A = this chain, B = another copy of it.
Amino acid sequence: MKRTSVAHLNCSVAQTLEVVGEWWTLLVVRNLMFGQRRFEAIQGDLGIARNILSDRLGTLVAHGIVDRVKYQDHPERYEYRLTEKGRDLFGVIAALMAWGDRWAAPEGPPIHIVHRCGEVATATVVCDHCKEPLVLDEVRVTAGPAWRRTTA
């Protein structure tokens, strides 16, 4: 089943989910980030149906998030590598992980992210200006340059 598109919604959250919001897609990205580059490895780790993984990788390639790269000639073998656009999704993955560690990990975090500073990092989403955490009660939204009403 193809899910309904949300491309008509004039919102960068919707546009991001249009690209990576399908079920499994962000988990495939996670596996690529954590070093799995080959179809069989990702398929085995996620326990995902081959046709679905193939579909999701195709979507990621089509959107420039992943490159399909030949690493062997005889027989031809390919692996998948995140592009700059794909690597830039790490913040999203880290934010999802931090929320899950707080609210959906009763036995504690399954994995830790160790930052180059040497510490186990909890991803924190901050304002790029004042570096303070972005908290819902402390923000408001205004129209950006591409604002328009999109209600059907």
Binding site for B on A (CB under 8 A): 1, 3-4, 6, 8-19, 21-24, 26-27, 30, 33-34, 44-48, 82, 85, 87-105, 107-117, 119-148, 151-152
Contact of A139 (CB < 8 Å), options: B114, B122, B134, B146 = B114
Contact A134 B128 (CB under 8 A): no
Indicate how many identical chains form the complex: 2
Please tell me if the beta carbons of B119 and A44 are within 8 angstroms of each other in the complex: no
A34 contact from B45, B95, B141, B147, Cβ within 8 A: B141
Q: Are A142 and B21 in contact (CB under 8 A)?
A: no
- In the assembled complex, how far is the CB of residue A113 from the closest CB belonging to chain B, in whole angstroms? 5
Whether A126 touches B126, Cβ cut-off 8 Å, given contacts A27-B9, A88-B99, A145-B108, is: yes
